[in-house]
Amino acid sequence: MIYEVIWTSRFKKSYKLCQKRGLPLQELKDVVELLRTDQALDAKYHDHELVGEFHGTRELHIRPDWLLCYRKNQGILTLTLVATGSHSDLFSK
């Protein structure tokens, strides 16, 4: 299965911040490609579902403090990229 990738406005903003920080965006692109093509993720990514207000969203670790939050809809084959950044970027209020 191949998923259509959708970038939320929040993801677009957080992606630009990652660019400014000089993070290696190819690592993000590589993991998005694994998700898009429905390939198994290595355990190093610590992929897991979030709970509470983030229920229905999954999170994985590109690096120890660089996360990707996403949603997969298998019914209509969409991969929605919700946000990327550090723990404090994503979960601090």
**What pLDDT, on a 0 to 100 scale, did the predictor assign at position 93?**
62
Q: Which pLDDT belongs to residue 54?
A: 87
In the chain the domains, ranked by start, together with CATH numbers, are 10-87 (3.30.2310.20)
pLDDT on residue 92: 79
Does pTM surpass 0.85? yes
Instruction: Mark the ranges of the chain whose per-residue pLDDT is less than 70.
Output: 93
Task: Record the tokens describing residue 18, joined without a space.
Answer: 């990652």
- Give the whole-angstrom CA distance, residue 72 versus residue 7: 12
Radius of gyration of the chain (CA): 12
d(CA 64, CA 34): 19
Identify the three-state secondary structure at position 72: strand
Residue pLDDT, tens place only, 20-37: 999 999 999 999 999 999
Q: 85 near 67, Cβ under 8 Å? A: yes
Average per-residue pLDDT for the chain: 95
